[in-house]
A = this chain, B = another copy of it.
Amino acid sequence: MSIVARQRDPNLASIGTCDRRVAGSRGRFRVHSKKRITSFDIAELAGVSQATVSRALRGDPSVSEDTRRRVEAAATTLNYTVDKNASNLRSKLAGTLALLFFDDPTPDDSHINPFFLSMLGSITQACARQGYDLLISFQELGRDWHADFAESKKADGIILLGYGDYLTHASRLEKLRAKGTRLVSWGAVRPDQPCITIGCDNFSGGRAATEHLLDQGCRRIAFLGDASRHFPEFQERYRGHLQALRTRGIVPDDALQVDAESSQSSGRLALKTLMARAEPFDAIFAASDLIAIGAIGALSEHGIDVPFEVAVAGFDDIPMASYVNPPLTTVQQDTRRAGEMLVDSLLRLIHNEPVASRMLPMKLIVRRSSLWQEVPRAESPREA
């Protein structure tokens, strides 16, 4: 920071008094300086005007094939690269998308939720495929995060990523949209979302998980996860869970729902809370894999066997899920597809093409944590 201001404004001698140059009149001042190579240099070398260079390199069809080749050759020779700042300034585009990452609830250490990491990977790759750069920023939900990207022209659009409730910040989002900021979010797809949202079918996913547990013979299935409005995704999963129960004629028991955020420690805590209630349960459906993994840890501390005493299912299918012991039954979100859809939707928004929120299908992945295998489950639910 301290040494920032270094360069001078040389070559004031040009010709006019204005910000204007003629192709040929530039070289003279450049001979000895090793300043940046600009489109004027290319123009001179290729024997055309700067304007033509710009057009040629951008693939403007009005440039003849012959000229284009000459320009490209000159550019290669001088190892020229378009100055993105100037280009963006002029074109009012950035060629960049911003990914805002909300990790509000669990700022424990630097550990990012693995599911989001996976999303990050796929978003990055989707951007690359589309020729866009990706600007990443971790944010806390509290602050004035909006101001710094679209408005400062650093990005053409914004992707919002994070569990949580965008509705709480609806007014802020509205303000952004009013300014013409393009944004898409990942989350629960609901009619009242304040912006284009891509998300998985959390409801069906939750239903599928619970149906599977019911199929395994479980009858008292605990739900670990915040079912409040503030976590719409969890709420949807919970709704799916409830519906599955009701369809099978089981009356949901509020005592079997425990709030939890998406972290192992929270899952561990939730399980202890559940046990403290002394409610019998024979299965756990956790609203995220991290919660499930935390719960499994706590169960094993209590000497309770998974899956023989308590079956467990999670949600997300993070990489870790297949490596815990026992491997975790879970509902898989297709992060690759999700990342692609987020980027595609945002680009469509940017290009003023029609876009709609979309819900992606999910897939139940059955692993050992919910399976009896050979050993039959005890007849009555386990007493806590």
Listed in ascending order, the chain A residues whose CB lies under 8 Å from chain B are 1-4, 7, 16-20, 79, 81-86, 88-89, 91-94, 96, 101, 109-112, 114, 117-118, 120-122, 124-125, 128, 133-138, 147-148, 151-154, 293, 319-320, 323-325, 335-336, 339, 351-353
Nearest B residue to A4 via CB reads B93
A351 CB contact (under 8 Å) in B2, B120, B124, B325: B2
Q: Known A18-B19, A85-B89, A319-B320; judge A154-B133 contact (CB<8 A).
A: yes
A86 and B92 CA atoms in complex are apart in Å by: 10
Q: Once bound together, how far apart are the Cα atoms of A20 and B18, in whole Å?
A: 8
- Please give me the 3 A-B residue pairs with the lowest Cβ-Cβ distance, nearest first: A325-B325, A18-B18, A19-B19
- Distance between Cα atoms of A320 and B89 in the complex (Å): 45
- State A91–B96 Cα separation when bound (angstroms): 20
CB-defined contacts of A133 to chain B, threshold 8 Å: 135-137, 154
Max count, chain B CB within 10 A of own CB: residue among A19, A118, A121: A121
B111 touches A121 (CB 8 A): yes
A7 contacts which of B7, B17, B92, B136 (Cβ < 8 Å)?
B92
Residues of B within 8 A of A3 (CB): 351-353
Q: Is the Cβ of A81 less than 8 Å from the Cβ of B152?
A: yes
- Residues A153 and B110 in contact, CB atoms below 8 Å apart: no
Residues of B within 8 A of A109 (CB): 336
Q: How far is the CA of A19 from the CA of B21 in the complex (A)?
A: 12
A109 nearest CB neighbor, chain B only:
B336
Q: What is the minimal beta-carbon distance from A378 to any residue of chain B, in angstroms?
A: 24
Task: State the CA gap A353–B2 with chains docked (Å).
Answer: 10
Q: State whether B82 touches A85 (Cβ < 8 A).
A: no
